[in-house]
Structure formats: C-alpha cells, structure tokens
Amino acid sequence: MDRLDPIARANRIGALVCGYPFDLEHPRSFNEKISWLKFHYRDPLWERVADKLECKRFLEEIGLGKYVVPVYGAWDSVDEIDLESLPDEFVLKTTHDCGSVFLCKKGETDFGSVLEKLRKSMGRRYSEEQRNGEWVYDNIVPRVYAEKLLHPHPSFGDLVDYKFSCADGRVLFGIECIGRLHDLRNNLFDENLRPIAGMKSKLPSRR
C-alpha cells in the first residue's frame, strides 16, 4: 500500500477502516468528503495551526490564551535546549510531525536517549515520509519546544482528551479519549453530549 499515490492509498484505507471503498473523485459520505478536503482544499490557516507552536499563538490572538498549555522554551536545534533552565518535569515536543512527544522528569528521564530521538524527528519530512498527501506539514519549520506537564485530576486517574468535529460554526460530534497511554477507549457523543453507540475504534481483523 505504501507504493500507492496518496489518493489511491486513502481509498484503500477507507475500505479497510470504514468497510467501503472510497471514491474521492465523487465523494458522497462524510468520510470521503473529509479526505477530499485534505487533498484539495488549501487554506493558509490550516498550515499555521498544524504547527504546534503557531497554533498556540493563534489561540492567544483570538482570545483563547487561557486554554493554552504554557511553553517554557523553544529552539531551532536540539543542541540549543537548556535543560538546566527547565523545571523538574516538562514535556518535549517537535512542531512539525506526529508522535514526537516525550514526558520528562529530571532524575528519571534518560535525556541522552530523548535528545537523540528528537534529532531524528527534526530531520523528518512528515507528509513525504507518511505518503499521505497532508500538505499542511510541508512548510512547517522544524522546532523543538518544552511545555508544562499536565497531570490528571485525582478522581479520574488519567488525562481525558476531547476532540470536537465542527462545520459551519457548530459542533457535529465529539470524541472522548480515555486511557491513551495504556488502554485507549474512544466514546462518541453528539452536540448535546449524548452518547452515540456503534463507534469503531480499531481496524477490523483480517480473515
């Protein structure tokens, strides 16, 4: 599948995940239209908010700064990171790819290993490597930054991640992600926070 062009690859993945082959030349379903937008709709704002640091700045500009996780520092090179200036615990991330997230605690974290992984991440061209056609990542300047490490409320035992899908200025549905680091569970809910049954959170097994 990796040898396919991005659109053909998306069609095949659609068949695996959704149970029907995608037709991005004539999109009809919600999933097909989202995939079509990924390849064909070009909005400079998408490119900006795909950059993890620029997204924070954008949220501050529109008055949502109180929801932004504080940043301790940002660097153009891994070798510029000043660990001594950082608190006892923090998160290191890159701005331009997916998955380069490291929870750090002084006295426990192997920083030699973390910094080496970050160097490899800084050399990645995410869209090209993934062959997924996600153009928003192509021009992001790779940087590494440190932000505050969030802790869950004692009553929950883990951080809960909420994602909202919106169109025309209103919420269509949301996803509640629980147990991301251990046993991921996804709960789907509508605009009134009522549960929606029947969500698939994993690929179907092959026979």
| Mean pLDDT of the region 45-69 | 95
| Mean pLDDT of the region 5-14 | 82
Residue 68's pLDDT is what? 96
Cα–Cα distance, 31 to 58 (Å, whole number): 27
pLDDT tens for each residue of 73-98: 999 999 999 999 999 999 999 999 88
Residue 117's pLDDT is what? 96
Taking the model in full, what pTM does it have? Answer: 0.79
| Mean pLDDT of the region 8-31 | 86
Average pLDDT, the chain: 86
Residue 131's pLDDT is what? 67
pLDDT tens for each residue of 119-142: 999 988 877 766 667 888 888 999
| Mean pLDDT of the region 53-60 | 96
Range 36-41, long-range pairs (CB < 8 A, 24+ positions):
38/10, 38/133, 38/134, 39/6, 39/7, 39/10, 39/133, 39/135
